[in-house]
Structure 1
Amino acid sequence: METRDWNEEKSYTSIVTAGSPQELKERRTACQSVLLEQLNVIPIEQWMLRVNAMHDLIAQTAVQICEAQMKEAGFGPPPCAYSFIVFGSAGRMEATLWSDQDNGLIVEGEPDVANNQYFKDFGAMLSDMLEEVGYEKCEGKVMCSEPMWRKTLPEWKKQLEGWANQLEWEPIRYLIISSDMRHVAGNTELSAEWLKALHHCFIDNGKLSTAVLRNTVRHKATLNLLGQVLTERFGDYAGGFDIKYGVYIPLLNIVRHLSLLHGITESSTLERIKILDEIHKYQHLEEIRRAFLTALRLRVNTPYNIENGLLTSSDYVAESDLKNKQLMSELRESLLLVRRIHRALQRQLRSAERK
């Protein structure tokens, strides 16, 4: 155990001393090898914290390398303060070893042509660098290379307010993505101001909460009428179960919705559950916590491939694993809980829409 801890510490230290994307990728690969040895040896919540600590160190180092390369390329140092932020599973500190990019930039001050050009180039370089290090580009384009996710603080505030006022599916989806924001590098004050602006949108705004609830209650059917687990019938994953969209995302959506209702600024699902529990207003939180830990454990144990030292996974529990009675029992129990809460939320939504 001592050797493992020492190796882990050594791996983390090596990340922050990387001087190029190639070195950073090599050190990521070495660090994730140590983490894979620890999988299912230590509690899943502890393992996830270690994995996400690695991702944060890689991102922070990539930001530093990117600044240095921009300077070498003749762009000079950053013209003003900025904050590199993450969304999605990274924002919730729930990223797997194969998670892709979900990030953005907050730039200090009012819009400025020169500053805008610098951070446009910086965002593109940083996103390319993260891809080189092993983080695939986000299919939904939630990246600092995209204008929607790279703005000055005043522009961000205006955009957040605009999404909150539209109440349509797509802008509410963007707002939900934003609500998982977490600061990783750069100026912390910009991130704090951004977060304050986001949560201000929800104060005494019942229509917005209802719109978020409308997005929350959508999920794929995972149990049939007899309460049996529905597996994929066709395709590459026939016989397998989609743990990401079947259990993990429905549970985090439920917790996120309740957290936004109460102005909880924590982004981690487990931390949100802990704070919600302190409110003493909701039942089933301990059941939700247990089901969520099950979802995390099953998700990081899905079959994966290794190519050039980097991992990829489909997020499907393999058909062979589903033959394990203990696993299937835990999965079914989690799905029954998700179905029960979703039905309650659907009733709540119908009531809110009638009003």
Structure 2
Amino acid sequence: MERLSLESIRSEIQKADDHEQLRRFRDQLHEEFEGRLLLSHSIEWNRELNQVHDLFISKAVELARQKVKSEGGGDAPLPFAFVLFGSGGRGEQTLWSDQDNGIIYADPDNAETEAAAPAYFERLAGSISGILLQLGYPPCTGGVICTNAKWRNSWSGYRSMLYEWLEEPHWEHVRYLLIFADIRPVYGDEALVNRLLEEMNGYVRRNPAMLQHMLQNTLHHKISLGVFGQLIRERYGEDAGGVDIKYGAYIPIVNGIRLLAVDAGLKVSSTEARINGLKEGGFVEEEIANDWLEAICIALKLRSMTPYQMEEGRYTSRGKLSSDALTKERISELKLCLRIGNELQKYVKKSVHKEMEKG
């Protein structure tokens, strides 16, 4: 397949009349981007891939709105935003990422819209999720998806939920807060999202003890590097001898940078943008920030090289790099990433403790 420009891809996606055309095009692009990976700088490759994911997801929302209307459900009674969480929110989806999403709609201003909104957005959510399934995006196994009423709510409903998590910061609530911190709108009214992020950042500024609660969750996943600098490999099953790139390298780095970004009040969501924001804002020295950028670049590339499989027509991966793929060069690269990740986790812990001493 001839390499397509982003504008050509955008045009093809916009021209599609149904999910079947979109699915055929996604499968073609999957093959093309897989071939591009080894020939591209991974950050740039990741950036372009995620722009493509955004185009598919936005088109899915448009098709869902048309479907609901054609079935007699009418138009959206209120402005709304379709948002992504997880790797989608960070703009770091792999070729096979799942659905981590939600819907935020404006507060009803009269009894009529108050009555109509929940039913309409429930119907819309079901349609969007169904189309994304047909495009090969599996549902989030943790239930962070717009068909779950928890993640489909009015602005005030989200705000109430946010404050419940902030004011009762036990493990599960803090987990939700960190999920929410990666929120990014891909369709609709961005102001609904920005106002919620301002609420969260403002609360953390006024209550820096929240950082300590967030730290425990942030350091939960350990770097896959042993005390003698050896890789910690999978011991059993079909991934035996391989390395868990997702949870042993990528997630620990993402989590550490996210907490530093929350502490700094940054409003960007990608790990790359957060590192640059920390550097440009004077929150971290340039040399250290550049090391972090190198580590996330390696982690993104190796994560995208993990094997994937099709399950019921959906792209999935276990996030493990197989032993066969661990060449001498790749092991050296991975160890560098993991050493930087180890230092990052120490840096984050020290940084939060400094904030506690101040506050």
Separation in 2 of the partners of 1:198 and 1:304?
36
Separation in 1 of the partners of 2:149 and 2:311?
31
Counterpart check, 1:334 vs 2:323: no
Say if 1:85 and 1:183, in contact at 8 Å, map to a contact too: yes
Q: How does 1:263-278 map to 2 (within 5 A)?
A: 263-278=265-280
Tell me the residue number matched to 1:180: 182
C-alpha change, 1:224 and 1:350, in structure 2 (3 Å) is same
Say if 1:273 and 1:285, in contact at 8 Å, map to a contact too: yes
Separation in 1 of the partners of 2:353 and 2:89?
31
Which stretch of the first structure deviates more once superposed, 292-301 or 36-45?
36-45
What does the per-residue CA deviation read over 1:176-203, in whole Å, with 9 as the maximum and x for residues that have no partner? 0000011100122222222222322222
Tell me the residue number matched to 1:243: 245
Say if 2:211 and 2:352, in contact at 8 Å, map to a contact too: no
Corresponding residue SS for 2:204 = coil
Q: How does 1:49-198 map to 2 (within 5 A)?
A: 49-110=47-108, 112-198=114-200
C-alpha change, 1:231 and 1:271, in structure 2 (3 Å) is same
* C-alpha displacement of 1:77: 1.0
The higher-RCO structure (CA 8 Å, 6+ apart) is 2
Tell me the residue number matched to 1:228: 230
What does the per-residue CA deviation read over 1:283-329, in whole Å, with 9 as the maximum and x for residues that have no partner? 4221111011000110111122357875432211110122x222111
> What amino acid does structure 2 have at the position aligned with 1:317?
L
Separation in 2 of the partners of 1:153 and 1:238?
46
Tell me the residue number matched to 2:324: 320
Corresponding residue SS for 1:85 = strand
Tell me the residue number matched to 2:260: 258
Separation in 1 of the partners of 2:193 and 2:220?
30
> What amino acid does structure 1 have at the position aligned with 2:63?
I
What does the per-residue CA deviation read over 1:22-64, in whole Å, with 9 as the maximum and x for residues that have no partner? 2221121122233223212121111111111111111111111
Q: Which runs of 5+ in 1 are unaligned?
A: none
Which stretch of the first structure deviates more once superposed, 70-79 or 213-222?
213-222
* TM value normalised by structure 1: 0.93
What does the per-residue CA deviation read over 1:147-196, in whole Å, with 9 as the maximum and x for residues that have no partner? 11111011111111111111111011001000001110012222222222
Corresponding residue SS for 1:206 = coil
Q: Percent identity?
A: 33
Say if 2:223 and 2:249, in contact at 8 Å, map to a contact too: no
Corresponding residue SS for 1:60 = helix
Which stretch of the first structure deviates more once superposed, 329-338 or 248-257?
329-338
* C-alpha displacement of 1:72: 1.2
Counterpart check, 1:210 vs 2:209: no
Say if 1:12 and 1:31, in contact at 8 Å, map to a contact too: no
* C-alpha displacement of 1:5: 3.9
Corresponding residue SS for 2:38 = coil
C-alpha change, 1:10 and 1:309, in structure 2 (3 Å) is farther
Q: How many residues align?
A: 352
Corresponding residue SS for 1:71 = helix
Which stretch of the first structure deviates more once superposed, 213-222 or 138-147?
213-222
> What amino acid does structure 1 have at the position aligned with 2:341?
V
